[in-house]
Each structure stands twice: as structure tokens, then as C-alpha cells.
């Protein structure tokens, strides 16, 4: 059973991103196609509902700054650690993540960076992580290790290849 919860982008943030993204760009929706035209391939991760894009869905690629948004909630000042990157979301309101679930985008063999942040929003460590066959147990152990450090307030999971934000986990 999953011990930690993967958090999707919040409904409030999604509403804002569907107007202007974190780089100040307007939403540019399109319909996802099998051939990946114009941008996304079917199967790319949606951060609004933590599942893969399906053919025919209206989606958008937006700039998202998860640490910046967390800092606004908590009063943290991440300084140079504030970064924005591309993520896919539904272009229209969706149902969001479907309750408690296993960790998303956990294909065995996928390479991830597990990045730890303190209450100020500064990086205080991280580690390379290859998703094992038993992804749930592997992620649980990685998060137990991260949160064993008292200064760790939250963890971001990112794709190693491109650095794309996958999901966030907060201190339980």
C-alpha cells in the first residue's frame, strides 16, 4: 500500500494556468494525436490528473513553476531554486486525480530524480532513482529516506532525461 501521496497540480493553479501559464503565456490547446503532432504524443503524462494523455483529448503544454506556487502558500523564498518547466494539462476542467492511487508515471526502468527541498524552498539533496519492478515499494523507500531528514519539507519527482516535473510529495 502506498504510504505517501503523489499530488497533482491543484485546482486553483490549474484554473490560473488555463488562463496564463507561469511564463505569462496564454493557453494554446490542441487535440492529442497518436503521431504527436503538433506537440504531445498520446501517452505523455498529464499533471492535472496524474495519468497519460489519451487520443482525442484537448490538452495544452504550459509552463509550470511548482516550487514558486508552493512558496506562495507557505511564505518560503526559494530564490534561485525557483524554476519553471513544461507540463501537460487538460485544456478544459477535468475530474483531477482519482483518489488515492499508486505512484503515477512509474514505468519500471524509468529514470527519475528525487529532489528534496527545505521549508525555505532550497534544495537540500536529491538522488537518482530508477523505477523498480515494484514501483510502489521503491518509491515508498525513496520517500522514507528523503523525509528521514528533518529539514525536508517536500519532494519533487522529475524525469531524469529532461528534468520534467512529474509530481510532488509533501511531508506526511
Query: pLDDT tens digit string along 154-164?
Result: 999 999 888 88
Quick one: pLDDT at residue 93? 93
Percent of the chain with pLDDT over 90: 77
3-state secondary structure of 116: strand
User: Count of domains in the chain?
Assistant: 2
Domain boundary among 55, 90, 125: 90
Does one domain contain both 84 and 134?
Answer: no
- The Cα 19–Cα 15 span in angstroms is 7
Claim to verify: residue 122 and residue 85 sit in the same structural domain: no
- My answer on whether 39 and 74 are in the same domain is yes
DSSP string, 87-125: EEEESS----S-SS-SPTT--TT-EEEEEEE-TTS-EEE
The domain in which residue 19 lies consists of 11-90
For 18-37, the pLDDT digits (tens) are: 999 999 999 999 898 877 66
The per-residue pLDDT for range 96-140, each reduced to its tens digit, is 887 655 789 999 999 999 999 999 999 999 999 999 999 999 999
My answer on whether 79 and 24 are in the same domain is yes
| Residue owning grid cell 476542467 | 93
Q: Answer whether 0.85 is exceeded by the pTM.
A: yes
Amino acid at each position: 500500500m502506498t504510504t505517501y501521496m503523489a499530488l497533482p497540480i491543484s485546482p486553483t493553479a490549474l484554473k490560473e494556468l488555463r488562463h496564463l501559464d507561469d511564463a505569462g503565456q496564454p493557453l494554446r490547446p490542441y487535440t492529442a494525436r497518436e503521431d504527436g503532432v503538433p506537440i504531445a504524443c498520446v501517452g505523455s503524462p498529464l499533471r492535472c490528473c496524474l495519468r497519460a494523455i489519451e487520443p482525442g483529448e484537448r490538452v495544452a503544454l504550459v509552463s509550470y513553476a511548482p516550487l514558486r506556487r508552493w512558496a506562495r502558500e507557505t511564505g518560503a523564498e526559494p530564490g534561485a531554486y525557483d524554476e519553471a518547466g513544461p507540463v501537460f494539462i487538460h485544456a478544459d476542467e477535468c475530474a483531477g486525480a482519482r483518489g488515492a492511487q499508486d505512484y503515477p508515471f512509474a514505468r519500471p526502468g524509468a529514470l527519475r530524480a528525487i529532489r528534496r527541498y527545505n521549508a525555505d524552498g532550497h534544495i537540500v539533496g536529491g538522488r537518482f532513482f530508477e523505477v523498480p519492478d515494484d514501483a510502489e515499494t521503491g518509491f515508498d523507500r525513496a520517500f522514507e529516506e528523503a523525509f528521514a531528514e528533518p529539514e525536508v519539507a517536500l519532494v519533487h519527482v522529475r524525469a531524469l532525461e529532461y528534468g520534467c516535473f512529474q509530481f510532488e510529495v509533501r511531508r506526511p
